[in-house]
Chain A
Amino acid sequence: MTLALRLGWRNLFRNKRRTLIAGLAIGVGLASLIFTDALMQGMVAQMIKSATAAYLGEGEIHRRGFRLTQEPGLTIHDAAGVEARLEKDPDVEAFAPRAESFGMITSAAEARSVMIVGVDPSRERLLSQVDDNIRQGAFFEGSGERDIVIGNALAEILGVEPGDRIVATVSQAGSGVLAQDMFRVSGIYRFGIKEMDEGFAFVRLAKAQDMLGIGRGINEIALKFRDIRFATRKDNPFWTAYSTGGNEAVSWAVLLPQLRDALGLFWISLAFMAAILFGIVAFGIINTLFMSLYERMFEFGVLRAVGTRSAGVRRLIIFEAGALAALSIAMGLVLGLVLTLVVARTGVNYSGIEFAGTTFSEPLTPVLQVRQFVVYPLATFLFTLLVALYPARVAGRLRIADALRKSL
């Protein structure tokens, strides 16, 4: 066995140029796969971050039925108890309670239907990015209970600036009675996302609760985890642990099915790319092994003549392919790592570009994962061995007398 391994390894260097070209072909294929996967990981992370970090959160807790009806009367069961548990949960980095309902915002010039959200500013700052994107005014500084924060697009439609007064109207929970109150625009934010900039208005939590007539009730608790991958796992026990007492806890993947589907397409396209790359690699391997086989026909004849079984010759070809794969994988890993690290330093700038309902806010950076350096090389190795079965079969079936035609 060891001699066969040595034979396979040394045979690689009989034609160094050919081995280098074949190795580079496989190595570049592997490096491309690693880089593309890393870039897609970065893109996915960025998309999830863009979609969840702005406002939504990486997960949410509601009263069951609220997501469908947006009925403000559907408040979270035992909200105080849930918040107390979240405070102690080691996986939760931050959470923000909200009371919300569709309503009407009216200025002297215009009226608009928006989502009016009551927030706890101190908690909201830790979760969403509304405070980070304030362009004029401030995000609930001081104690003004009639402060309202709106997006720049909504401000333009309403024709208002910080300090101007607007009226918010909502339908009270249960009775449906309209409740109205006057607010002063205290801050204007801009995300660059139309839905956010035009469709939301933020007021203090207590004020919203009063207007909606839900007491100290909470409609939604937005969640941020210490690791975003925690939220991505739909089978995470966290969701069932908090889906009790009529409440439901759901991941962003449930809240944003269109994004989840778009990300699914990413992985399908990666699989297609991998299939094409492996196809190219397969032809490279077969070509290399057959050239090597035909060049050394007499040698294989000698090996068979002196008593090497057909399976032994097949094994030699497989070992040779394995040696080629090992060499190629080493080249591919180095190339993939260097390429990924270089691009990770500079990033690929897609800032401001909208895709699948999210807008990239930062340059894309590839994300290195152990999987890329274990699964793909292993797959390349196994695939190379699989592809080598064909030339190995041909070598095993050589007619010895033909291989030795000019000798014995």
Chain B
Amino acid sequence: MNTVEEPLIVTEGLKKDYREGGVVVPAVRGIDLRIGAGEFTVIVGPSGSGKTTFLNLISGLDSPTAGKVWLRNRPVSDMSGDALSDFRRDHIGFVFQAYNLIPVLTVRENIEYILLLQGVPDDERAARVAGILKEIGMEGFERRFPPRISGGQQQRVAIARAMVSKPELILADEPTANLDSETGSELLDMMRGLNRRTGMTFLFSTHDRMVMERADRVITLHDGRIAKDEWSRRT
């Protein structure tokens, strides 16, 4: 078993309960975890195992009932409001399953949206958007609107949007779920390549075996707890 020497993400006693009709439903039941910088990690588990809730807690999209989350030694679980929004903007990239992009913004506008939020100057913004489009092989698609490109191309643009601000962590929720296997495989190879070249940390939630096959580490959740934490032999 590998150990994480320089953790990017640390969770301690992370718990999340939901209330449904007056009944407390535990979704995450105390997770202690360390994920290192540059890892390509997958979280798997059956529906209702707490994958989505766990990722929401790590990214600050939801707040824990108990426990703590640190990202690069910053206490995400203690942040709120604009500070938390700004933290996500600057440190975390998101790739969602589908309907990822804003359909009324062009490919270029979707990608540069976060840079605009960050107040990146025009010249630098243009250069970074052009660079990332080249990296994902989407040059020439700048002025297209998302509904006018394929699902695979949309996910590429979503990855570009997640990476353009150079965050430390990319969270991807079932990024291949709506793609055919060939497109999904290409997309995963692309993300794996980006992970190796840039050193960005990728954390997936998935059911897709193709994703697991490419991962450094596979964490299995069951009933809101870590059931297994396995490292790839390659690692």
Residues of A within 8 A of B (CB): 3, 6-7, 10-11, 13-14, 298-299, 302-312, 399-401, 404, 406-408
* Residue pair A407, B88 in contact (C-beta under 8 Å): no
CA distance A305 to B103 in the complex (A): 17
Cβ–Cβ contact B88 & A305, under 8 A: yes
What's the minimum C-beta distance from A1 to chain B, rounded to whole angstroms? 9
Contact B104 A11 (CB under 8 A): yes
Interface pairs A-B: 8 shortest CB-CB: A307-B89, A10-B104, A401-B62, A408-B173, A407-B96, A309-B85, A400-B61, A307-B88
- Known contacts A3-B105, A308-B85; can you find 19 more A-B pairs with CB under 8 A? A7-B105, A10-B104, A13-B104, A14-B104, A302-B96, A304-B85, A306-B113, A306-B117, A308-B89, A309-B82, A309-B85, A309-B86, A312-B117, A399-B62, A404-B56, A407-B52, A407-B96, A407-B97, A408-B52
Q: Which residues of B contact A3 (CB under 8 A)?
A: 105, 109, 112-113, 116
B161 within 8 A of A: yes
Q: How many residues of B contact A (CB 8 A)?
A: 35
Task: Decide if A305 touches B59 in the complex (CB within 8 Å).
Answer: yes
- Give B158 Cβ to nearest chain A Cβ, in Å: 9
Q: Chain A residues near B161 (CB, 8 Å)?
A: 306
A306 touches B81 (CB 8 A): no
Is B10 interfacial (CB-CB < 8 Å)? no
Whether A401 pairs with B56 at a CB distance below 8 angstroms is yes
Task: Indicate if the CB atoms of B61 and A305 lie closer than 8 Å.
Answer: yes
Mostly, the A contact residues are helix
> Is the Cβ of A408 less than 8 Å from the Cβ of B81?
no
Residues of A with C-beta under 8 A to B82: 309-311
21 contacts between A and B (CB under 8 A): A298-B99, A302-B94, A302-B100, A303-B102, A305-B88, A306-B88, A306-B89, A306-B114, A307-B85, A307-B90, A307-B114, A308-B85, A308-B89, A308-B117, A400-B61, A401-B56, A404-B61, A407-B98, A407-B174, A408-B56, A408-B59
Once bound together, how far apart are the Cα atoms of A299 and B98, in whole Å?
10
Asked if B171 is at the interface (CB within 8 A of a chain A CB), the reply is yes
The complex places the Cα of A274 from the Cα of B100 at a distance, in Å, of 43
Give the nearest-CB partner of B103 in chain A.
A14
Does the CB pair A404–B89 fall under 8 Å? no
Contact digits for B105-127, partner A, Cβ 8 Å, 1 yes 0 no: 10001001110110000000000
Do A408 and B88 have beta carbons less than 8 Å apart? Answer: no
Contacting residue for A307 out of B62, B86, B96, B112, CB 8 A: B86
Residues on B with C-beta less than 8 A from A307 are 85-86, 88-90, 114, 117
Write the chain B residue with the least CB distance to A1.
B116
How many residue pairs bridge A and B at CB < 8 Å?
82
B179 contacts chain A at the CB level, 8 A cutoff = no
Q: What is the chain A residue whose CB lies nearest that of B83?
A: A309
Indicate whether B138 reaches chain A with its CB closer than 8 angstroms: no
Q: In the assembled complex, which residues on chain A have CB atoms less than 8 Å from the CB atom of B59?
A: 305, 408
- Taking a contact as CB atoms under 8 Å apart, the answer to whether B102 and A7 are in contact is yes
B109–A6 contact, CB under 8 A?
Answer: yes
A313 to chain B: closest residue by CB: B85
Query: Does B194 have its Cβ within 8 Å of any Cβ on chain A?
Result: no
Q: Among the listed A11, A308, A400, which residue makes an inter-chain contact with B62, where contact means beta carbons less than 8 Å apart?
A: A400
Q: Which residues of chain B are within 8 angstroms of A309 by Cβ–Cβ distance?
A: 82, 85-86
Known: A3-B113, A7-B104. A310 touches B85 (CB 8 A): yes
Verify if B55 is at the interface (C-beta below 8 Å from A): yes
Q: Kindly name the residue among B81, B96, B112 whose own CB sees the greatest number of chain A CB atoms within 10 A.
A: B96
Q: Nearest A residue to B94 by beta-carbon distance? A: A305
Interface centre among A299, A307, A399, A407 (most CB of B within 10 A): A307
Min CB distance, A167 to chain B, in Å? 88
* Nearest CB of A to B72, in Å: 16
Q: How far is the CB of B163 from chain A (nearest CB, A)?
A: 12
Taken together as a complex, chains A and B put the C-alpha atoms of A306 and B205 apart, in Å, by 18
Interface centre among A6, A310, A311, A404 (most CB of B within 10 A): A404
- In whole angstroms, what is the CA distance A407 to B52 when docked? 7
Q: Which residues of B contact A304 (CB under 8 A)?
A: 85
Nearest-neighbour CB distance to chain B for A402, whole angstroms, equals 9
Task: Give B173 Cβ to nearest chain A Cβ, in Å.
Answer: 4
CB distance from B77 to the nearest CB of A (A): 14
Whole-angstrom CA separation of A298 from B102 in the bound complex: 10
Residues of chain A lying within 8 A (CB to CB) of residue B99:
298-299, 302
User: Residue of A at shortest CB range from B109?
Assistant: A3
Instruction: State how many angstroms separate the Cβ of A170 from the closest Cβ of chain B.
Output: 83
Question: Which residues of chain A have C-beta atoms less than 8 A from B89's C-beta?
Answer: 306-308
Q: How far is the CA of A309 from the CA of B90 in the complex (A)?
A: 12
Collect the chain B residues with CB atoms within 8 Å of residue A6's CB.
Answer: 105, 109
| Contact with B94, one of A14, A399, A408 (Cβ below 8 angstroms) | A408
The answer to whether residues A306 and B61 also contact, given A3-B109, A408-B52, A408-B173 and a CB cut-off of 8 A, is no
* Whole-angstrom CA separation of A61 from B52 in the bound complex: 86
Complex CA gap A407/B175 in Å reads: 10
A408 touches B61 (CB 8 A): yes
Alpha-carbon gap, A308 to B117, bound state (A): 7
Cβ–Cβ < 8 Å partners of B205 in chain A = 408
Q: Closest residue to B57 on the A side, CB-wise? A: A401
**Interfacial chain A residues near B81, Cβ < 8 Å:** 310
Contact pick for B102, options A299, A312, A399, A404, CB 8 Å: A299
Residues in A neighbouring B114, C-beta threshold 8 A = 306-307
For the complex formed, measure the closest distance between the CB of A176 and the CB atoms of chain B, giving whole angstroms. Answer: 88
**Least CB distance, A309 to chain B, in whole angstroms:** 5
Complex contacts, A299 vs chain B, CB 8 Å = 99, 102
B171/A408 in contact, CB under 8 A: yes
CB distance from A128 to the nearest CB of B (A): 66
With A and B bound together, what is the CA distance between A311 and B81 in angstroms?
10
Q: Could you tell me the distance in whole angstroms from the C-beta of B102 to the nearest C-beta in chain A? A: 6
B96 to chain A, nearest CB (A): 4
Q: Separation in Å of the A327 CB from the closest CB of chain B?
A: 15
Which of A298, A399, A400 has most chain B Cβ within 10 Å? A400
